[in-house]
Amino acid sequence: MNKKIEDFWLEFIDKNNLEKIIKYSEYFYFGHTEELANNLLELVLSGKKKATSSVLKQFEIEKESLPEIGEYSIVTDYYNNPRCVIRTTNVRLIKYKNMTFEICKLEGEDKNLESWNYNHELFLKRIAKENNFEFNDELIIVFEEFELVYKKS
């Protein structure tokens, strides 16, 4: 158990008059480097980042459940210091090759579809290599939309 995370969650529950039985699904930081994690966190905190994407194959390999609408998650900085709570509002399964800028711009990171494709191809190739599968444009993207519901003042 991470005391900082648990204290942060209880503070969120208390300040929002929610029932203590409500739980968060996970805590995490976006990205895989300190710089990226902190940049993406700032996009969430500013309200520009309203979605994230991952690959279905990784969920299957790791036997993890897909995100569900209504779930809460705690977003941390790179060092797992809790910074905000998000709530999943939508989950879509989309083939990589069918991604549109209308959808991916919700991630708040890219100026156009080409930039999104470039950055996510690098990301997905790294995930594929780590999990022993091949990247291709038929991969199913788990596109999770969320809303920022609480941030530490």
8 — pLDDT class (breaks 50, 70, 90): very high
Q: How far, in whole angstroms, is CA 149 from its chain's centroid?
A: 14
Residue 1 has pLDDT above 80, yes or no: no
pLDDT digit string, tens, across residues 120-149: 999 999 999 999 999 999 999 999 999 999
What percent of the chain clears pLDDT 70, i.e. is strictly above it?
99
10 — pLDDT class (breaks 50, 70, 90): very high
The CATH-assigned architecture of domain 3-151 is Roll (3.10)
pLDDT digit string, tens, across residues 53-91: 999 999 999 999 999 999 999 999 999 999 999 999 999
Alpha helices, DSSP H only, in the chain?
A: 3-15, 34-46, 56-62, 101-104, 113-130
By CB neighbour count within 10 A (0-12 exposed, 13-18 middle, 19+ buried), where does 41 fall? buried
Under DSSP, the state recorded for 2 is -
Please report the pLDDT score of residue 132 as a whole number.
93
Please report the pLDDT score of residue 127 as a whole number.
92
The dihedral over CA atoms of 73, 75, 81, 83, expressed in degrees to the nearest 10, equals -100
SS3 37: helix
Please report the pLDDT score of residue 32 as a whole number.
86
Q: How many CA atoms lie within 13 A of 2 on its CB side?
A: 13
| Backbone conformation region of residue 31, classed left if phi is above 0, alpha if psi is from -120 to 50, else beta | left
